[in-house]
Amino acid sequence: MGYYAYHLALREEDLQGVRLALIPGAPERCTKIAQAFGEWQELAFHREFRTVLAYNAVGKILVVSSGIGGSSLSILLEELARMGVQIFLRVGTCGAIQEHIEVGDLIVSEGAVRLDGVSEHYAPLAYPACSDYTLLWLLKKACNEMGCRYHLGITCSSATFYPGQERYDTFTGYVPRALRGSFAEWQKLGVLNYEMEIATLFTVARVFGLKAGALCGVLVNREREEAVPVERVEEVETILARVSAHAATLILKWLEEGNGVS
């Protein structure tokens, strides 16, 4: 018997040699992404981790939910890497902080500000959190081929949704002094968006010698409003599923050409 991943509730043989995993945060997004890719079957659903195997004429992928934040995502990375997964693509949602970015746009992250609180357990803060170049190029290609509006740039990954992203629409309305003004500072430095997982993904994957990329759909532009327009969520998730599924197909074709992680 191969390795058993306790948190994912999976055995190594369940993965059937799959090397690519797409990682949404929400379990309910797994089937939407898998359906956009091809046929699918659920392998496990334990805690926040829902694992779906999807396949089409090109090959097989995993779609595995990570839950919210870097802590659970790091568990997912540890366990999938031990079972042979080598390429990780984050498929998430985010809040934009630059005026020119619209709800429904996609953001391809080149790197991430490490406010995630998890990646420091793998490498010191001076170590960069950056995307794999090949995945960055293939994500751009997928966006272009699907005709989607997208932006390339730096993401800020925060350990918290409220104070870490300087949100005041909260129970107390209080943000600690060290975080006040951080929203404007990241804007001034050209950061595109806030989310909670990418810095962990990029850092850990680099430390492990694996490949990682990230694609996010914009649910709200916080320069204009704080509340997510609920009527747009399904639309954004559908665009995200279609583009990430196409990106997965491009990655599998790239692997077919004899390319690998090293």
How much is the average pLDDT of 20-45?
Answer: 98
Mean model confidence pLDDT for the chain:
97
Q: For the chain, give every domain's residue range.
A: 4-256
Contact 69, 76 (CB under 8 A): no
Residue 237 has pLDDT above 90, yes or no: yes
Residue 262 has pLDDT above 80, yes or no: no
3-state secondary structure of 19: coil
Q: Is 0.75 topped by the overall pTM?
A: yes
Residue 125 has pLDDT above 80, yes or no: yes
Residue 259 pLDDT: 81
Q: Where residue 2 falls among pLDDT bands split at 50, 70, 90?
A: confident
Right CATH number for 4-256 from 2.60.40.1180, 3.40.50.1580, 3.90.700.10, 3.40.30.10? 3.40.50.1580
How much is the average pLDDT of 188-214?
Answer: 98
List residues with catalytic annotation.
7, 79, 167, 222
pLDDT tens for 205-232 read 999 999 999 999 999 999 999 999 999 9
pLDDT tens for 53-94 read 999 999 999 999 999 999 999 999 999 999 999 999 999 999
How far apart, in Å, do the first and last CA atoms of the chain sit?
27
> Residue 32: which residues within 8 A CB-CB, separation 6 or more?
237, 238, 241
Q: Where residue 46 falls among pLDDT bands split at 50, 70, 90?
A: very high
Query: Which segment of 49-53, 225-229, 237-241 scores lowest on mean pLDDT?
Result: 225-229
